[in-house]
Amino acid sequence: MKLLLRFFIAIAGIILASSLPVLIAGWLKGEWRWNIYFESIRTTVQELWPINEMAFFNYRAQRPMPLFPNVFDYIIYSLEILFLALLVAVVVSLVLTVITMLLSEKSRERVKMALYFLESIPDLLIIMLAQLAVVLFFKQTGILVSKIAAVGDDRIYWLPVLCLAILPTIQLYRLAMLTFQEEERQMYVDLARALGFSRVYIVLVHMFRNAVVSVFFQSKKTMWFMLSNLFILELMFNLPGIMLFLRDNMYPAGFLVAVFSFFLPMFFLYSFGEWYFVRRMRGKGAV
Amino acid sequence: MWKQPYFVIGFSIIAFFLIGSFVYEWIWGNVPRQIYYIMEGGRAVEGAPISPNWQFPLGSDEFGYDLLGKLMLGAKYTILAALAVGALRMLIAVPLGYILGTYLDKHRKWISSLADSMHYIPLTLFAAFVLTPVLWMPPEGFTNTIWERIGIQVVIMALLTVPIVAILIANEAALLRDKEYILAAKTLGAGRLRIIRQHLYPQMREKIAVLYGQQVMETFIVFAHLGLLKLFLGGTKVSYDPMFGDPPMSISYEWAGLFGSTFRYLQSAPWLPLAPVLFIGLTIFAVSLMMEGYLRSKNPKVKKLRKAKVEEPLVEWNREQLRNNMVRIKEQEMVKAEE
């Protein structure tokens, strides 16, 4: 019930945001256009209602096309890249964290410091360097590792996923390091050590279970950051995803369709995760 | 703070860019030097865009303008705008967060889930969507000046994530408010305003400073992203000539524009888009250095504690030894029992 309420509040927030440009355009002229703003929200919502009748301009076909089922191709491709990158980032960062936790205190601090500064690399730089590297490699050896731009409807996967995953990996890695170190100060770790369990066993079995929960709760910001990155990535690789679709339809209804297409899966992912972890914590207490 | 090497290095990088930018304009004017081709032994060896060499450390653009000069001239716009966005955002969000966390605590839950919906809208997308009417030149030309547009852009970008930052501060304040010493202050008759001023704010000063640094870094990234979308700081000059239209151009030499308008040269003249992004990265790095230095100056204990922990003597149980001892004691007991 509470979840449903939160779901509708979030939808209301997104709809309120979708017509903001109208308000700002009025503000530039020095007037408050509340009437037009609410009018725009009303027409946008009305437009959405018989949702299978909506038509959008398709950049690749150069003509308006009905929204469904065409848009699913875009959405699925974008979500595939987003979640593949997320999966890679989570797995790699957790594996690296566990390995780093086994190192000495001093080298751990060094790794944390390095990660902190690595976080300041702009995502654009990573994408551009990756594209340059692929071309350079191709020129040197004649092997095309991956296409650097999608032409027409063909799909490239691993290079965009790699580019998208690097920065979230660094962020999650640092986040996980902080959480694991916090966890290490807990009493039960001392107890386990006193009982003679090996360090690997404690980190992998006991700390991992507890730390993953708080990493999950803090990962929302990384996810938000990844969405912005996905947008840029699709532009730079010319990927036929939902963000590119949005660029051709920069008006309230298009904005709503694009935002909803990843709002829904992400909201369910987070709600499910929250529900699962909260239930587990209540059921057993700290493991 | 000024004794921390991290802080000083970060500060000097940013100060170098800012002061250098104004000094450059003061000495050489606001047009960078231009060269069409490089002569070598009476022959032109390279035309614009010229690749990086000793005379032009970062090469030149497609019209022969010195890229380093352009970057130096543009530094002040980008850096000052990003600092201003962060400052304005904090100025609005901090009081708002405190009000939410103290006076309006009953409503904090639903307001925070409303602000939470922002987390599903990519920031760049949202900024581009909202800023397009401001920055994209209409066919009849801009009606306002460049400084007005920069001002409007700064205000809008500051407002965009105010809800998220305000909620962050409100939650933090609500956490602190349940602490005993604040309850004690309340019992002694302190009003809410006094609690905010005397207890909550001093407690959270470091967090707020770090948050400010993060906002500035985020703003730099969003500027760069907007540059890719051809929405430049202070407006995009668009040529509506259907036949010989120039590509969209930035009005000042700010970094987002330098990057966004040259991105298509990535393969042919990679230094053109790479240099501005590198500069942006360097500035972000400088900000994070300053943040780290600031934190270290405020908590010098961190280092001492760590050292103390390392020096703690470690008692290693030697299992072999223990076992041998146990066996020996057991044997002695058995011998005694036999006797």
Q: What is the pLDDT of residues B183-238, one digit of tens each?
A: 888 888 877 788 888 888 888 888 888 889 888 988 998 888 888 888 888 777 77
Domain shared by B217 and B312, yes or no: no
Domain shared by B255 and B313, yes or no: no
| Contact status of B240 with chain A (Cβ, < 8 Å) | no
pLDDT at A137 over 80: yes
> Is B11 a member of any domain?
no
| Contact status of B277 with chain A (Cβ, < 8 Å) | yes
Give the pLDDT confidence score for residue A287 in this predicted structure.
43
For A186, residues 6+ apart whose C-beta sits below 8 A from its C-beta are A210
| Contact status of A198 with chain B (Cβ, < 8 Å) | no
Domain shared by B149 and B274, yes or no: yes
Q: Which residue of B has its CA nearest to A252?
A: B129
**Tens-place pLDDT, residues A191-231:** 888 888 888 888 888 888 888 888 887 788 888 888 888 88
Q: Which residue of B has its CA nearest to A253?
A: B129
pLDDT band at B156 (very low <50, low <70, confident <90, very high): confident
Q: How far is CA B299 from CA B136, B294, B296, in A?
A: 46, 9, 5
| Contact status of A3 with chain B (Cβ, < 8 Å) | no
Q: How far is CA A228 from CA B25, B61, B238, in A?
A: 35, 29, 25
Arithmetic mean of pLDDT over chain A: 79
> Is B16 a member of any domain?
no
B277-308: burial string, b at 16+ Cβ within 10 Å, e else: bbbbbebbbbbbbbbbbbbbeeeeeeeeeeee
**Tens-place pLDDT, residues B278-295:** 888 899 999 988 988 888
Domain shared by B172 and B312, yes or no: no
CB B125 within 8 A of CB A243: yes
CATH number of the domain where residue B87 is located = 1.10.3720.10
> Is B68 a member of any domain?
no
From the list B110, B134, B228, the residue facing A24 with the nearest CB is B134
CB B254 within 8 A of CB B73: no
pLDDT at B41 over 70: no
User: Mean pLDDT, to the nearest integer, of A172-188?
Assistant: 85
Number of Cβ within 10 Å of residue A42's Cβ equals 11
> Is B46 a member of any domain?
no
Q: Within 13 A of B114's CA, how many CA atoms are on the CB side? A: 13
> Is B33 a member of any domain?
no
Query: Hey, which residues 43-102 in chain B have their CB within 8 Å of chain A?
Result: none
Domain shared by B262 and B205, yes or no: yes
Q: How far apart are CA B98 and CA B91, in angstroms?
A: 12
From the list B125, B277, B292, the residue facing A128 with the nearest CB is B277
Give the pLDDT confidence score for residue B88 in this predicted structure.
93
Query: Hey, which residues 123-152 in chain A have their CB within 8 Å of chain B?
Result: 123-125, 128, 131-132, 135
Give residue B327's domain range.
307-339
Domain shared by B191 and B211, yes or no: yes
Domain shared by B248 and B338, yes or no: no
CB B34 within 8 A of CB B47: no
Cβ distance A17 to B121 less than 8 Å, yes or no, reads: yes
Domain shared by B335 and B230, yes or no: no
Domain shared by B176 and B274, yes or no: yes
**Tens-place pLDDT, residues A143-165:** 777 776 766 666 778 888 888 89
> Is B5 a member of any domain?
no
Query: Hey, which residues 210-229 in chain B have their CB within 8 Å of chain A?
Result: 217, 220-222, 224-225, 228-229
Closest CA to A101 of A178, A190, A171: A178
> Is B146 a member of any domain?
yes
Peptide bond before residue B49 is cis, with ω within 30 degrees of 0: yes
Query: Hey, which residues 97-116 in chain B have their CB within 8 Å of chain A?
Result: 110, 113-116
Domain shared by B140 and B244, yes or no: yes
**% pLDDT > 90, chain B:** 5
One-character DSSP codes across B259-292 = HHTTGGGTTTSTHHHHHHHHHHHHHHHHHHHHHH
Closest CA to B211 of B153, B170, B256, B177: B170
Domain shared by B272 and B153, yes or no: yes
Q: Which two tokens stand for residue B138?
A: 């209409």
Domain shared by B250 and B317, yes or no: no
> Is B110 a member of any domain?
yes
Number of structural domains (chain B) is 2
